[in-house]
Chains A and B, each alone.
Chain A
């Protein structure tokens, strides 16, 4: 499978197992990079371990091979200089998946896959990574760890994540900001359907705690285009409230409202040095990973 295809949401949607998905995303992504992002990290020797196929040959210690006639690879105790927290919005609205694209990921699936890939990448870089999920309240919290075994726990938690009820994004973020004391990187995946003033206040709370923040504003293509054709009754997935309308008549104003909301988020985030990244679920995950690496590079 080609790298580009590995990163396509449709491809990922057809795969089972988050572990596999995360690995494929990251490996596929790294394969395409010209330079390894973690090449040249400062390391201290930790232990030798037997060579297994797939390890880089250049990491084989030839002196040990000369002595023992077996291949050993040097393991380094790398310094964990980053604590990353993945915050995944699991409110009801995140379960939305437009019917127009067959086999598309829901916003929650997309967020989970992206979060898993980043966790995989972070762990692979020996960074500590934690996970928090929330809807009206914080539903799960795993503090940041850098152990490889910890990744399985993270992935299991992500895999079992089910969409909940209404969103209280701001409240949950405030709670998490209070809970995440050590400064680090906070990566938020959410559709941000909440009062923008409150959301921005919560984001500023993270900044106040000296965290670096990457915000992935995840929307479904249909949420962006609002491309419904005939009059219908829309049912809010969170509140179950209904609204009868002719989408053709409200489309322009919907777009204006969405763009206004995004513009406001973008400008406020820029003001507070928060990386604001609007992402559509039909977009390749590569984009999100690039945004992360760019941020990571700036943190070094």
Chain B
């Protein structure tokens, strides 16, 4: 259906008949000349005259169309496609994807949501869910109320899938007594947002609709990853910042700027020809808060990343071991910023992630119950298995870990900093190969056998050996402390790095007010009591950057998965019972520019015809009459 913004301009439409009238008048006025014979023109008439008639007709049509399109452009046509949910009384849960991948087109998503709400019949109720907002305080309201809330929405900088919103929407509809109940998801269609629907089925009593942006992702360059190398440096060791850039669209040249403590260190122009590009910056020793930024483009939220080079408190490691663990403990303590505290096996069970970043248990025969208890509280646990490993399967036997929890090895960059010859020195004698079926092998030795494994379900990591002077020559190498520190840092990773939308929590000793610094605000906060101690909590971070709560510093970055360009398959969703529509099916389109372009095309075509006519007339000048 087409509406017009300025319909009164259509009154000028009869002007379009002008060329036709002029054409007819000119035909009447054409000079009539007697000529001896059309003998020589007879053959021309069939070809040339046909073209001339066609040209006249074309000119007439083009002139008429030019005026038609011009008047249409002035009238401002707006096309509103047939909307699938119009004029229905229903309880509708509206899930509006506000993840940052939608930021370039959030306006279109909002337009669809507004039109949906606008076209609902009176008596309908709408509940609005946006994944970056709170899901639990959602309430039913009049469509007008929902429209106001939609108007106020802006795309967030966080990356979230819509699964939690979907679950919440079904809970909301469970309480609804309306005869027509609907869930409408409006998204850019990123797999990250809607991929979970592949495993969902729409309930029989709820209609589910997906409005997905059918357009490709806009040309965009993202910083997919930024990390320190090495992560934990030895004293005096140089450090680099490695960043990985990804792009959609054509190859581009972008400027990458490196800031340390908000001081510009380096600007580098780089061309991204392939989909990915890795570049490396040398970091100064004293750098603390590092920011790497691209010149902004269509999705500005992914154009910068923050890295905490130092300045945070050290890695707090609780260490359980025996007498032979002394060398390992020393090796850990050598590292910069690692605080190692020996704890008894009994005390390990009550360790809290608010107090420590990592529990290392050296020389365990399997998974100690205390370590499992600590892991259940969210504390990362690293267990160094006792004894010489002859058969890797014995790792599972001796530790009691189910081998079902392991998966195929993933490439690891843990030892990427090591030279090849050094890597070869990391050997464990007489071990067999492991074929993991699930879980994760993080580090393999040069022979392909696992050294570091992870039980991802529990967050427990295993080192398949115990480093003692007796079973490996590794300890005689200066390499060992660095390796241990990096393993410890890897296992404890994520303790200081968060994604936008995460909640930051810090346990403090007293209830005194603390200074909190976020990328936008500086303020004081009084800790609240919790579990016999005091806790400061910062819920749902909204911006990327450095967050300082008391003496602790956190870095919050956008989720790199949001930069993914993969889209859900609409056919798959339809097969699961979802009704899928393109976003454009609902967005009113202003066609004045289209009409103006068509008018310009008509004008250009007419000019070409006239110019070709003029040139043809000039080039076909009469040759000299040659009469012998």
Contact = CB atoms under 8 A, between A and B. Distances in A.
Contacts, number: 110
Contacts of B616: 248-249
A107 B36 contact: yes
Contact of B52 (A167, A233, A245, A257): A245
A246 B610 CA distance: 13
Contact of A232 (B33, B38, B48): B33
A241 to B, nearest CB: 6
Contact of A249 (B31, B620, B623): B620
Interface residues of B, number: 29
A221 interface: yes
Interface in B401-432: none
A55 to B, nearest CB: 38
A93 B41 CA distance: 14
A93 B40 contact: no
A237 B32 contact: no
A234 interface: yes
Contacts of A245: 41, 45, 48-49, 52
Given A191-B37, A246-B52, A232 B30 contact: yes
A244 B30 contact: yes
A258 B37 CA distance: 12
A82 to B, nearest CB: 25
Contact of B44 (A193, A194, A231, A250): A250
B33 A228 contact: yes
Which secondary structure dominates chain A's binding surface? mixed
Contacts of B32: 232-233, 235, 242
The CB with the most chain B CB atoms within 10 A, among A95, A228, A231, A245, is that of A245
A79 interface: no
Interface in B354-399: none
Q: Does more than half of chain B's interface fall in helix, strand or loop, or is it mixed?
A: mixed
Which of A107, A224, A248, A251 gathers most chain B CB within 10 Å? A248
B262 interface: no
B30 A283 contact: no
Interface string B588-628: 00000000000000000000000001001100111101011
Contacts of B48: 245, 249-250, 253
A96 B37 CA distance: 9
Nearest to A94: B36
B30 A233 contact: yes
B82 interface: no
A237 B35 CA distance: 6
B477 interface: no
A220 interface: yes
A10 interface: no
Interface residues of A, number: 48
A257 B44 contact: yes
Given A232-B33, A235-B33, A226 B622 contact: yes
A261 interface: yes
A279 interface: yes
Contacts of A250: 41, 44, 48-49
A234 B35 contact: yes
Contacts of B30: 231-233, 244
B627 A279 contact: yes
A62 interface: no
A91 B583 CA distance: 76
B520 interface: no
A111 B41 CA distance: 24
Interface string A257-269: 1100100000000
23 contacts: A93-B39, A96-B35, A96-B37, A193-B36, A194-B39, A220-B36, A227-B622, A231-B31, A232-B30, A233-B30, A234-B34, A234-B41, A235-B32, A236-B36, A237-B35, A242-B32, A244-B30, A245-B45, A248-B616, A249-B613, A252-B620, A253-B48, A254-B41
Smallest CB-CB A-B distances: 4 pairs: A96-B36, A252-B620, A93-B36, A248-B617
